[in-house]
Amino acid sequence: MAARKKTFYITSPLYYVNDLPHIGSAYTTIACDCIARYKRLQGYDVCFLTGTDEHGQKIFKSAKEKNLPPKDHCDYIAGKFQELWRLLNIKYDKFSRTTSANHGKIVQEFFKLVHSNGDIYEADYEGLYCEACEDFKSEKDLLEGNICPIHKTKAQEYKEKNYFFPLSKFEERLLKHLDQNPGFIQPSYRRNEVLGWIKEGLKDFPVSRRSVPWGISLPIDSTQTIYVWFDALLGYVSGLLGDSDIPSIENALKNYWPCSVHIIGKDILRFHAVYWPCMLMSAGLPLPEKVFGHGFLTKDGEKMGKTTGNIVDPYELINEFGTDAVRFYFLKEIAFGKDGDYSRQSFINRINSDLANNLGNLLNRTLNLVNKNFNGEIKYESSAGETLNLAEKTNLTIKNYEKAMDNLELKDALDIVWELVDSTNRVFNNLEPWKLIKNNEISKARSCLYETLEILRNICLTICPFIPETANKIMLQLGYDRLDEELSWEKAGWTKTKATYKVKEGKPVFPRLEQI
């Protein structure tokens, strides 16, 4: 029997459906898709889960404002997320919705498990609650006047008898886990944030709400619904169920758990790096291997927001510039993990510089010379020797790219590839193969062009997780028609496996963008 493939399970957040998807959620999902594609390229059995978080007071109010039943509102917004993911060429495997019947069964089973382990108790809660965050706040979490620092809205006084989860009970166990697994929370500065929260002392939190009707009923008290975050995090479990699976935690976790990496925005780090592992500890279930919290996006140096009109519409961006340009810009421009700023000028500059000028020109000039002078066909000649002298550079690029990708350093990975693009352009210009042809140095010219095509093939392998449509177009121009076979990490490096390149003519894959 053939050995089972190694699995890789990656999740985006389950996006809250109080409003339409925005550029921030698009950015997170593009990054997840890039990582998932890279792992598939390496031969992993990948499960990429995205989805929507659909319960809670905020959604109930949003639906009411639109005169819609909450489920109808959720169906519409979830559909808009799926539509945007299609436009962004997001190749997800599972779409988890927290209003599904299977999810409700998983949440109730999990609650009963935690309750039976003695980790649920009833008590009065009195304090502050931010409806926009769907989170309980202490005064030190808020700005003056009890203003939420993220949403700039006032946290409300909240008093209710609820059921609690004893987070404080797991403080030492969580610290021990972080100590024994230093890579559990990344980047390292996010880990330091979490350590700071734990050392301040973890506080028990309510896992039910009496005043929120839109939610999953508490199995031990039908007058209450389960707190939205205790519910939503389990979407990473329920979403794994297959169509024919009987809904149970055991069935959900049988193939891909534990999660390889949860990719999230830093604003929901506490839920994923503190609440979630402690909940899993209580239930006796394996913890995810990694939680990666990335930064926020701004526009023209200012925070984005509908109230100020300072927003980036992902639909408009895709419509104007195309899917791959959008994917490339955000992954190349912003160091994954840190905050990043979008501006129209930087977008145009990035696409023109990296894609149209550097990579695009190298490809176009090489194909034109091969088509014009060699009837579209270049053979490898071992007797010619190396002309570009970039074999070692190409192999080192693959090695360093792989290391960066494994560390989720997406911008660094592209920077490494573009060092090879720049080096190839520089050597290509110095050799001037068009002059070699004119001077009848045909063998040297042929070697130069063959080696450039070999480098372009490797570049395609490295960029296909980032800009898959572009990589496919280039591979077709290089003469490949079975991309499913050729786009494999096993073929990365200076292999020279293709004895003859029979290239095709094609339009520039990235025409220059006009300054508007």
363: domain CATH number is 1.10.730.10
Structural domain that includes position 421: 344-502
**53 has which bridge partners?**
16
Is the peptide bond between 258 and the residue preceding it cis, with omega within 30 degrees of 0?
yes
Radius of gyration of the chain (CA): 26
Nearest to residue 292, comparing CAs of 25, 32, 15, 26?
32
pLDDT digits 0-9 by tens, 270-285: 999 999 999 999 999 9
Confidence of residue 449 (pLDDT cuts 50, 70, 90): very high
Closest CA to 184 of 58, 43, 281: 281
Q: Whose CA is closest to 285, among 239, 319, 256, 250?
A: 250
In 110-202, where do the E strands start and end? 121-130, 135-137, 156-165, 185-186
Say yes or no to pLDDT of 2 above 60. no
Is 414 part of any domain?
Answer: yes
Question: What are phi and psi for residue 131, nearest 5 degrees?
Answer: -65, -35
Structure tokens that stand for 70 in this block: 């909450």
Confidence (pLDDT) at 516: 60
Number of domains, the chain: 1
pLDDT digits (tens, 9 = 90+) for 29-38: 999 999 999 9
Q: What is the pLDDT of residues 217-228, one digit of tens each?
A: 999 999 999 999
Q: How confident is the model at residue 69 (pLDDT cuts 50, 70, 90)?
A: very high
Q: What is the pLDDT of residues 294-328, one digit of tens each?
A: 999 999 898 887 767 788 999 999 999 999 999 99
Query: What global pTM score does this model have?
Result: 0.93
Q: What is the pLDDT of residue 353?
A: 96
Rounded distance, CA 49 to CA 69, Å?
Answer: 27
Do the bridges between strand 121-130 and strand 156-165 make them parallel or antiparallel, or are there none, so unpaired?
antiparallel
For residue 95, what are the CA distances in angstroms to 36, 235, 239? 15, 10, 7
Query: Is a pLDDT exceeding 50 seen at residue 460?
Result: yes
Task: Give ∠ CA 126-216-219 in degrees, rounded to 5.
Answer: 85
Q: Quick one: pLDDT at residue 305? A: 75
Confidence of residue 126 (pLDDT cuts 50, 70, 90): confident
Tokens representing residue 386 in the block: 């190396």
Q: Over 80: is that where the pLDDT of 60 sits?
A: yes
Domain-located, residue 398: yes
Query: Percentage of residues in the chain with pLDDT exceeding 90?
Result: 79
| pLDDT for the residue 4 | 65
**Domain presence at residue 451:** yes
To the nearest whole percent, how much of the chain has pLDDT over 70? 95
- Report the pLDDT value the prediction gives residue 488, as an integer from 0 to 100: 85
Instruction: Please check whether residue 382 lies inside any domain of the structure.
Output: yes
**Residue 44 located in a structural domain:** no
232, part of any domain: no
What span, in angstroms and rounded, lies between the C-alpha atoms of 327 and 203?
A: 40
Q: Is 99 a domain residue?
A: no
Write down the pLDDT at residue 128.
74
- Interatomic CA distance for residues 431 and 247, integer angstroms: 64
Residue 1 has pLDDT above 70, yes or no: no
**Within a domain: residue 444?**
yes
